[in-house]
Structure 1
């Protein structure tokens, strides 16, 4: 990298050195007048200038064609610059004494500086950020004006009409000529700087060629002013012009040799608007070609129709046969790339859907749809292994008519059957669990097989996760609240010991009369009664979004606002408590056990309590203890709430003050209320 960074300035220095050599030669000839010898040879002069004019004609034609192709204003101005140089250099060559005229005249002397000045003006305009739409509207007038000036100059000059007939007119206009040359040199310098900035963004060889040519033309304008006619200094600017335009022509020729066409030679010179428009046009054309390639592969269009489409695009963009072939390969590569991206997206989607809570059936149905969409609508089936037999559920197939049986592949590698079906095994814990079948007319490529094998592996992991989560979810929900179970499945770190202080509403329910019942009943009858009562109590708590924390003998504890947050937790707890009493009243005998319930609200430490080997989700704190004491103070069938809970309930809740109660374990009394009826639950609760 360091060597490269040192090489770039070195090349710049060499480039600048070669461009400075003509000025050094001019200075040397002017400093040593004896070296600036006179060399007057009219045929050499004629052919040298005619060559430069011819080069400009060719460049003007090429640039004008490129400008018309994309309506590019910058290329139009550059083309006018070449045209101006071609016209006036041609006039300068024709005015060479001994060609059409017997002697020199003023038109012969002034044609070149005037042509170079006009070329500098047009090129400088191309380097500026002009309103390009306005330039395009003025283009016909600019072209006609340039041709008119050149035609008038040629008639006056070659016909020997005044004032250009006077051979001394150049000497008489030396002052204005110096001013024109100075302005032209300044314009060429501006062009060089602006095109250097553009070259740094685009790195076009043609931009570098135009930049170099402008430097050489600026030097030639200096020599025009300082060099006496037919001396070495005078010949110097002729050579510089020929080299400048020849350098651009050579770059165009090298580009043509490399590309095989002239359409893209001046692409680097175009305006940003044209560049963006062409990119969009090329993108749209490539998309159309990709669509045509897909249609051909699907049998919708023939090879001849595809050839016509390709030929039309080649004609539209001026492509050579080789470029057309490259475009076709690019379209095929783009189609393959997009297919690959779409199919990799299927892998990602199936991975995302292998999450907690997504049932196995849902996972597999979504997988079938995604595989079919991602693999160009190929037919897809999934077979599942159950009790040693492979079955194909109708919901897991995109083609109901596809009923052919496929044997479960041995091993983990996909197997391609003789009817264009690829069978990819599905496994759970490295044991066969099913098969993913994909049918495609024409068989499968190695990339298809590898990608489908990866997809089957991803689907196997999703299937294993779905079954595992289903088992864990069912197991957890038998021992804890659904909220706690879901939270632990989604984030196992929540099972760590510890917790946080949260305001909760605790509900304690205890069966009054259970001891007497136990003395008279069998163990089996006791279990049956507890399960019946706790079934009703649990359902009431869960219906209000509460969490059943634990069952202790004939007592139950529930929490609201933990682990999930509930702004109306006190009201939810009150409704749940009354729903428990109402449900139990419908099944309890007159002399049978009946719940008494205490409810209280306050801060508590909520979290996992226990040891590293065994832990329990619970809540601890004075507010929880008070709820337990209020339950002890309640009569069978009653719900007693603390003052902190009453303050959080709506005003229309029916309560009966019980005054201050002295409860066990507390030094101060507790204000309690007997709950009669809370506000009804919201309709969408």
Structure 2
């Protein structure tokens, strides 16, 4: 089917609507003129027809479920579940055909299809709805359970129906239509809703597979109408069987056509997926095109042959179904794009070298990174950088230079001007605070093009600026690290504006730890013993936090507060906090093994939004976090026993299946009206089990 867009789209829409309306018109005629609704009772034909539809629906469920798993897509998962439940109950309807397994018609035979179609409509409607991120995540985690429940329901139905047990063993009365009408009404509403939502999606995302799904759901809605109004073993009754076959068969046919065109099943049903899935798929297409550009560059540099380039072009052309002429145009455009990007990469090296100095880095590491960046974009160039050390020009041991190169480099340092070597190599000096700091040597075995010479001169100047900045950052960082957490110190060195009062609302994981029984210990211990204990405890505690790149915010007496995901962003901040807490408890137990009188840490962890930034006054301020999620972490710590780590429900959800926990239920904590879900965390290798 062609997309309903472009020239002549109105005519195609009209034809499409007429085709879909025709079955309803036929049904109306059969209901209005009962004499036309002929009787044809053929059990074998019914059995094979319904079984074939069930097999097609099952095949769709398998293929779509594979796509859902591959792309972690909840919409595809729900569509797959819709096909699965339809396949299961259609199979039951087929097997329960009179005189196939059962001798006579019963309720299991009569209601298997209405129930299956209604359940399929429920999942179809859910697939078309906009689910919340939490609902999508829950569904992906519980997909196996949902699938098992549906299959269990189908198995139970089969056992009760085929073994002749009530209530499915009774024979429905001839005028018993209310249950079927009710189920059909629900199916019509939900399939109609799904068809409308997918059509609106199709308007934004023109794809044949989307239109096929819309068509299928319209046909299934019509099948639900025919199911309610049709008379058993009459034409009106056979009509809903045909409509169901057409609905599932049409989607299967569209999938087969797409597979035939693309030659692979990887992209099947991708257009039906969520926006995230489509964006990821488009990114993969972009990567394929980037591969063609990269192959062109490699061919120009002689690293691959013409056959490899042709093979790459053929793969891209086949992926996007291009003609030979289109592939040739694409090749020329990719060549122009490759040349332009080569220049952009060289310019980008200027920016990258400057960015290298935004963090604390040693001179030799900065120079080594700069050389790697320059050589990566200036193909066929040999690049070396020498630095002045104790008034002597020194090249790294891994980058030796000839005596002639060294002599020209020293001359460039003296004249502070670009010097050209005998083979055309450029020697570009650079200055730091008005003093010669080093020289960049670029050699390509011949004269350097003017355009490259200008860029190399700019790179030499950028290296000088980067060196000056890096040395300043190291000085500041050394001072800051003595008074604050390393991440905060590094962030302030990189961007002093972060010292301003205020902050931003971020999702963070807060960790609170204090010593249960510290006051009693202090009462019976000398100040020296207290300090020794605190220093040893806080040493292992801070090492545990910093080892996971957390931020120690403050020490208050015997307590410690740490943050994860601030100031440095950490996608796995909840897991990092959990690992830090477990490591903290392990190390405390180790160092206090021979000190039973020493108190033990209790730890609370919670995740949520908080205002993170500098809090205080103009004269004195601290990096901190404020918010309900932070307060809950402190309250959970007070609920923990010595040696325990108690985490909130939000943290447990983010950690996922690797957490071994014992649920504490909903706890009422001080200063809070709503209860808090809490768990004792034992380990991070338990596969998500609960004690």
Q: Higher Cα Rg: structure 1 or 2?
A: 1
- What band does the TM-score fall into relative to the shorter chain? 0.3 to 0.5
In the superposition, the TM-score normalised over structure 2's length comes to 0.47
